Structure 1
Amino acid sequence: MEEPQEISSTDGGCAGDIVIEKFLVESKMPTPPAQLACGRQHCAFPLHGNELCVWTAEDPSQQLLVLRGHHQPISAVAFGNAAAPLLMCSASPDYVIMWSLDECRENVLEGLSPRGTVLGVLLGKVLCLRFSPDDRVIAVCAGSKILVLDSESRSTLAALEGHQGPVTAAEFCAWQAHVIISVSEDRSFKVWDHHVGSLIYSSPVLAASPLLSLAINEGSEQLVTGCAEGQLCIFSLVDGHHYRCVTRVDLRKKRESFSTRRLEPNPGSLPAESQLSSANELGKGDEAEATLPVLGLARCDLALGLSSECGLVSSGKTSCLWIGSSAGLFIFNLANFELEAVLHYKDFRNLSIQVAGSCAVMSKTSDEKAFCVLTSMFGNRIAGLEVNLAALLRRQRHPALGTRLSVLPSSCVLPTSPLHFGTVKGSSAEPACRKQSAARSAVKDQALVFHSKVRSSGYASAPHATMFSPKTNIKNDCKRASERKNRYKWKDSPAQNPLPTRLSRRLAVAEGRAAVRCVQFSGDGKRLACGSANHLALAFDADLTGTPAVFTGHDGAVNSVCWSHDGRWLLSASQDGTLRVWSARRTEAVLCLGKDVFPKPVQAAQFYYIDTFILLSSGPAVQLLTYHIDARQDDMRRYKPRGRCRAVVKLPMTGAAEVTSLSATNDFYSYLVLTAGRNRTLEVFDLNVGCSAAVIVGAHSRPVHQICQNKGSSFTTQPSQLYNLFATRAIGDGIRLWDLRTLRCERRFEGHLNRCYPCGIAFSPCGRYVACGAEDRHAYVYEMGSSTFCHRLSGHTDTVTGVAFSPSAPQLPGLHLDHLLDVTWNTECKRGRTAGGGPSVPPAQWTRQAATLS
């Protein structure tokens, strides 16, 4: 056995802090693929065919222990789960033997030959061995059967038959001691109850090649299978999910996207030499074999992602997996289904094994290192590697941003900020009559400031922790945005509201087959606005009763609607390239911006900074506008909008890409604006400094069609960290959840069908759920801590194009694409209303009313 040696990188840099080859053993005969065993302090592997070699890092004087007892080549080795006594089991076509390592070492010290306990004889070729969590039962995968053996009585407890090919891997379920899950070369997995010897579930064929490996993640309650062509299939083991498939992953494509995925911060925030090099550093060896067989899967504990207080993970560590393949080792994140790190064997000059035939990995949580044992695919070598996780991640990831971004402002508005323009000019926007009356009532020789108390603007002090309290928001912030007093009474909504799962009411919005494209609740939760393809915007009462308000004037489909913070105005953007602001009470346009103002059609628009500005996107730029609305009534000029606006700042997207979506918080003061471009990038603008703050390249495989922030509700409170979460959605690429503080995709939601039409997403007011529409006529609700849906809401007859949570009640509307049905789910039906009830006024009368108004 050779001495441990440090391995250097092929690019000339020292990589000894990343991987070290601890040992190298030459076998007398070729080493066929076999199950290897790797523990925190030990590893075991076949040597010279029928000998069992155990290497340990505890005692350097006894690092190598050779056990003899098999007469035919050993095909599988496994360690027990208990630390003391440490048990080990080995299998060959002639024997299945269990060893106690402590007794074996004592025998060696006494000069005796170590001996094990024979559990089975002539069982055939065994491809996998696995101990139960308490080490009392051993699962032996022999041929197409799984034999469950008692380690104490050496008897056979059950023989599980049902696979059509050799069983390649099996695992015991940690939280269900009676359950065993197995995979086979027949390309399926099966769930067994080994106490009674029965089959619980059998999956269909999952891949075109045999399944080789299997892992069960206890934290996320997920099952991961790996096949010979590098495909990963992830299933949910949560009760009630019925082993539904969460997602499918192509390891080769993930490796390619990892090598090209980059996070580009603001060029002024980091020096040029601190930027990572291009993809050729990580992509060395990407020209390797077309497929990456998944030889082994093991748990990997990493301190990544969000803390448990944000509700995304059950502990402070993210659920990750080690993936051992013939070309290298990969760290796979089970939350966002992305690779966190890649280690190619050929990237290190002195590594003895370049292509592996068998692989086993184990993380050592004490020192954040991992140990891996490999056998050569084309030779007789067996090697052990020690991998430094921190060094591996540090080398392959960008350094942290100089300034951590947050939706919550941490400083006052700068004098040069575009936002400062709006706050200063806003003080002089009073009507002339009010100014004159104030001048006549002024007292001569009076001090400039004669009030006993002066209300602070709030910008000269740090943000308050209670700024999201419903009463604080409504009492202070709404008055700054509008001097009109709110006439509705606010009432806190219970924080633990149940999810809306029961169909409460169904409403036909219009006749024909005009699609409903967008939906939004007002801030008080009393009104619901939607835009449709028949050029109309409608505003309903939240309970969907009575005659809706009809807003006419657009010449194209209404793509987006947005309520002002005080509920007085409704903003709509249309495919005709115009943007209109409506009076919510009189259903008349008070501001109209068309093609004469914007060179290209408006893609997205909203109120911003508590109704101080209008934020919109036109072409490759984001524009910030101040506006003034003259609410005086003039019957002679009723149909001519008297509002006016003025451009404050125009911010172009990096790369001059067309803006496809934008989002900003209007319920409280925030400087950040999130945008998505046609080039699949996300860009964060800081309007306090008037420039780009960060760019995320390759956020999705297709352009993002919606950005949705967790804006909360005035009726509920959330931890302040949750307001930094936002979700993005692209056609055919699922939903991704991001954190502004890290600019990382923290979780990915899949399971809904979305292949060709843009469907909407929405956060619940409590911040614990995300809802989305789908093309299979259902709306899906995901919990933040799970990647698969917890509820699937039915009732539609076509594609669900949009969803919105009520801010004041557990209510979730969804929109149809064709049949114009607005379906509201609630936790219970209200008294006197039946599910599926129609509107009190038919859609035809709404159309006649709209014609009369126009």
Structure 2
Amino acid sequence: MEEPQGFFSTGDGCVGDTVTERCLVESKEPVSHVQLACGLCFCAFPLDGNELCVWSTKDPSYQPLILRGHRQPITAVTFGNTVSPLLICSASQDYVMLWSLDECRQKVLLASPLLSLLVDEKSKQLVAGCADGQLWVFSLVERHHYRCVTRVDLKKKRETFSRRVESRLCSLPEENRRPRAHGLEKGEDMEGSLPVLSLAPCDLSLLLSSECGCLPSESAPCLWVGSSAGLLILNLANFELEGVLRYKDFRSLSIQVAGSCAMMSKAGEQKAICLLTSMFGCQIAVLEIRLAALMRSRQDLGAGRSLSVLPRGCVLSTSPLHFRIAEEHRTPPAPQRRTVQDQPLVFHSKVRSSGYATAPHVTMFSPKTNTRNNGDSPSRRRSSHRWCVTNLHFSYSFYAGDGRWLACGLANHLSLVFRADLTGTPAVFSGHDGAVSTVCWSHDGRWLLSASLDGTPRVWSLRRAELVLCVGRDLFPKPIQSAQFYYLDAFILCSSGPELQLLKCHIDTSKDEIRRYKQKSRCRPVFRLPTAGPTEITSLSAVNDFYSYLVLTAGRDKTVEVFDLNAGRSAAVIAEAHSRPVHQICQNKGSSFTTQQYQVYNLFATTATGDGIKLWDLRTLRCERRFEGHPNHGYPCGIAFSPCGRYVASGAEDRHAYVYELGSSTFSHRLAGHTDTVAGVAFSPSAPQLATTTLDGKLQLFVAE
């Protein structure tokens, strides 16, 4: 396998705007009367008789991929039906071969010469730098078998960093703008590649902790990356650049292109030393770098933010959250701040220990297969039905207060409520005319909210298993993608197209003997907020367990937007949060059975197909950690926070569920036993349990040992 040189030609177009010739290949052997393979993402054809050539129509880094193995001329080529892994089959008179394109591509990329290696003891990772500007990060954690965590393209990372700094400079007032570095001038060409000449540890704990308010020991490890064009600081937690220094930006430097380099920085010091040799000359230079000045552009990205999930003041009289109770004509008490003391993350003494706060076992989660019957009839045993589940969420039960119920929405217009141990026959709630996109429990556990693509949110009574409120679809111009109870069940939040809607609801289940079929529950729109751009909201998240003014939304244009409903406006926008549209945003909402430090409630996670999971902090609006390792390339798999706030669970396409610790970028547990893609995950609020659902409609329960 290799990438051929010299016989491929490309162009931007040769016949006007109607036809564009993307690729022209010259083969030594004729390829007429040969079965070819063509798809929207890849094309495959024989080359020079017995070589298989794969051309990507979207990813330039694939151009082209040559697969060798046949001895006789290839006569037929075809693609497989699965997206992950993407397979291709080639046939000749001697062999029929099946190739995995992802594995073949990784072997080609690893063929680039390794120029540098580094082992980071804190994160237990091995970092390898290649001549083509790629960084490969491998996990050294036990039971991970040196698996590849991620691959970092330094050129793309530096371009993204430059765009963010440029955007920040443009948003500042004219008098506060600092002079632009030469590398940020519009239209300047970037270098072709950044060969990794040297790697060294970089301690930025003092600078990072002073910005986000965390302890130095909690700061993520960083890495010096020395290349021929400059120095870069890479964060090993989120795999983002913290600082960039380009030699050509400083005209006083004698060396503009380095042939070799070495870096050294000491913990607690505000400066670093770099030794350089010239690529084309005999010069040797020693540079002294002031870290605070180098990190200034990075610190400007989060400057001036004062967002917090916990309210810092009373609700304003002009706020849409300021409402009056008709019966008492009084204003509700001001939002109370959840005050907890710093103490170990354990459950209350009345509830059995969850296992979340203890050291992880080798098999922390395992399938629950020994469910006892408890004298129930056969009809109350574990259900063997298959359901097409689209969403999954544990309830906070009002009756026992221990999360006894499990709700899920279905693609066949139904909603189901199971017992948390998945025994017995589920309660069925029917009435929607479209696939159920969202299910959510109220804070007191009495009501279940479901939203459907038919444009109608509905509220159901869990005790009576009946509909108590149906909001007309005339309030929503487009299908509802997300909905939930908000502000301690006082409101309902809905997203419809590029708009966030706040509804005030009043639920009354009493019956009138004369008009018993007429609902007394009512709901009215209170406030509407459009997104910053004309993009559809794909997911929303807000805390309902205590008063909070902030609502987080994710858009199809890859942005994350924060709304302050106390002020009634948009508070912040994170552009390019992912490389693809964000399909779920999830907050660390905690649980009434656990205690957390109040700062931890400002953490939230986002996920996008093919772009992993990112952990964000509202105080800095920056990605603090990135979780990769779970295959997720074609289907939007769900994520969930554990009640203790120490873990994030995710579904995956390899028939496994993954559990990540927030302090590590690699997974701690990989849960097997599924028969299809794991589409949804949910933690129990009171017990060490994780529920999963797959595309073939099976629910499964894992219990911490």
TM-score by length of 2: 0.76
**2:551·2:564 contact (CA, 8 Å) conserved in 1?**
yes
**1:261·1:698 contact (CA, 8 Å) conserved in 2?**
no
Correspondence 1:267-278 to 2 at 5 A:
271=173, 273-274=175-176
How far apart are the structure 2 equivalents of 1:306 and 1:509? 51
How far apart are the structure 1 equivalents of 2:654 and 2:544? 33
Correspondence 1:642-657 to 2 at 5 A:
642-657=520-535
**Which of 399, 422, 436 is matched with 1:544 structurally?**
422
Deviations 1:71-128 (A, max 9, x none): xxxxxxxxxxxxxxxxxxxxxxxxxxxxxxxxxxxxxxxxxxxxxxxxxxxxxxxxxx
**Which of 425, 438, 443 is matched with 2:325 structurally?**
425
Deviations 1:201-250 (A, max 9, x none): xx978613111100111111111000000111111112222211111111
- Give the structure 1 partner of residue 704 of structure 2: 827
Q: Name the aligned partner's letter for residue 702 of structure 2.
A: W
- Give the structure 1 partner of residue 639 of structure 2: 761
Correspondence 1:224-263 to 2 at 5 A:
224-261=127-164
Establish whether residue 321 from structure 1 lines up as the match of residue 223 from structure 2: yes
Gaps of 5+ in 1: 1-202, 431-455, 475-488, 829-854
* Percent of aligned positions that are identical: 64
SS in 2 for 1:318: coil
How far apart are the structure 2 equivalents of 1:527 and 1:312? 37
How far apart are the structure 2 equivalents of 1:504 and 1:546? 15
- Give the structure 2 partner of residue 503 of structure 1: 367
Establish whether residue 520 from structure 1 lines up as the match of residue 408 from structure 2: no
**Which of 565, 590, 610 is matched with 2:443 structurally?**
565
How far apart are the structure 1 equivalents of 2:476 and 2:213? 42
Deviations 1:428-449 (A, max 9, x none): 599xxxxxxxxxxxxxxxxxxx
Bigger drift between 274-283 and 518-527 goes to 274-283
Alpha-carbon distance change, 599 to 288 in structure 1, aligned in 2, over 3 angstroms: closer
**Which of 251, 255, 261 is matched with 1:353 structurally?**
255
Deviation, 1:807, is 0.6
**1:710·1:725 contact (CA, 8 Å) conserved in 2?**
yes
SS in 2 for 1:651: strand
Establish whether residue 574 from structure 1 lines up as the match of residue 452 from structure 2: yes
**2:183·2:246 contact (CA, 8 Å) conserved in 1?**
no
- Give the structure 2 partner of residue 723 of structure 1: 601
Deviation, 1:360, is 0.8
How far apart are the structure 1 equivalents of 2:580 and 2:509? 43
SS in 1 for 2:551: strand
Deviations 1:756-810 (A, max 9, x none): 1111101111111100000111000001111010100011111111100001100
Establish whether residue 682 from structure 1 lines up as the match of residue 560 from structure 2: yes
Bigger drift between 588-597 and 517-526 goes to 588-597
Alpha-carbon distance change, 537 to 341 in structure 1, aligned in 2, over 3 angstroms: same
How far apart are the structure 2 equivalents of 1:276 and 1:535? 56
**Which of 672, 680, 692 is matched with 1:794 structurally?**
672
Deviation, 1:315, is 1.2
- Give the structure 1 partner of residue 18 of structure 2: none
SS in 1 for 2:493: strand
How far apart are the structure 2 equivalents of 1:381 and 1:278? 28
- Higher-Rg member (1/2): 1
Bigger drift between 621-630 and 292-301 goes to 621-630
Bigger drift between 546-555 and 780-789 goes to 546-555
SS in 1 for 2:500: strand
**1:536·1:551 contact (CA, 8 Å) conserved in 2?**
yes
How far apart are the structure 1 equivalents of 2:513 and 2:471? 22
Q: CA RMSD in A?
A: 3.2
Alpha-carbon distance change, 694 to 336 in structure 1, aligned in 2, over 3 angstroms: same
How far apart are the structure 2 equivalents of 1:660 and 1:278? 36
Q: Name the aligned partner's letter for residue 339 of structure 2.
A: A
**Which of 299, 302, 319 is matched with 2:204 structurally?**
302
SS in 1 for 2:296: helix
How far apart are the structure 2 equivalents of 1:306 and 1:590? 50
Deviation, 1:286, is 6.1
Alpha-carbon distance change, 605 to 686 in structure 1, aligned in 2, over 3 angstroms: same
Deviations 1:169-217 (A, max 9, x none): xxxxxxxxxxxxxxxxxxxxxxxxxxxxxxxxxx978613111100111
**1:775·1:799 contact (CA, 8 Å) conserved in 2?**
yes
- Give the structure 2 partner of residue 477 of structure 1: none
- Give the structure 1 partner of residue 124 of structure 2: 221
**2:265·2:272 contact (CA, 8 Å) conserved in 1?**
yes
How far apart are the structure 1 equivalents of 2:244 and 2:448? 50
Say how many residue pairs are matched.
577
SS in 1 for 2:275: strand
Establish whether residue 606 from structure 1 lines up as the match of residue 506 from structure 2: no
**1:528·1:539 contact (CA, 8 Å) conserved in 2?**
yes
**Which of 334, 338, 351 is matched with 1:459 structurally?**
334
Larger RCO, structures 1/2 (Cα 8 Å, 6+ apart): 1
Establish whether residue 212 from structure 1 lines up as the match of residue 115 from structure 2: yes
How far apart are the structure 2 equivalents of 1:605 and 1:467? 32
Deviations 1:429-487 (A, max 9, x none): 99xxxxxxxxxxxxxxxxxxxxxxxxx95528x73524999xxx99xxxxxxxxxxxxx
Q: Name the aligned partner's letter for residue 679 of structure 2.
A: T
Alpha-carbon distance change, 207 to 276 in structure 1, aligned in 2, over 3 angstroms: farther
Deviation, 1:652, is 1.0
SS in 2 for 1:531: strand
Q: Name the aligned partner's letter for residue 232 of structure 1.
A: L
Deviations 1:5-46 (A, max 9, x none): xxxxxxxxxxxxxxxxxxxxxxxxxxxxxxxxxxxxxxxxxx
**2:392·2:680 contact (CA, 8 Å) conserved in 1?**
yes
Bigger drift between 344-353 and 760-769 goes to 344-353
Q: Name the aligned partner's letter for residue 325 of structure 2.
A: K
Gaps of 5+ in 2: 1-105, 372-380
How far apart are the structure 2 equivalents of 1:467 and 1:632? 42
Correspondence 1:424-443 to 2 at 5 A:
424-425=324-325, 428=328
Establish whether residue 287 from structure 1 lines up as the match of residue 189 from structure 2: yes
**2:538·2:556 contact (CA, 8 Å) conserved in 1?**
yes
**2:207·2:292 contact (CA, 8 Å) conserved in 1?**
no
Deviation, 1:643, is 2.3
How far apart are the structure 2 equivalents of 1:648 and 1:262? 38
Alpha-carbon distance change, 511 to 366 in structure 1, aligned in 2, over 3 angstroms: closer
SS in 2 for 1:390: helix
How far apart are the structure 1 equivalents of 2:287 and 2:504? 62
- Give the structure 2 partner of residue 411 of structure 1: 313
How far apart are the structure 2 equivalents of 1:552 and 1:511? 17
Deviation, 1:274, is 3.9
**2:458·2:467 contact (CA, 8 Å) conserved in 1?**
yes
Deviation, 1:312, is 9.4
Deviation, 1:368, is 1.4
Bigger drift between 255-264 and 750-759 goes to 255-264
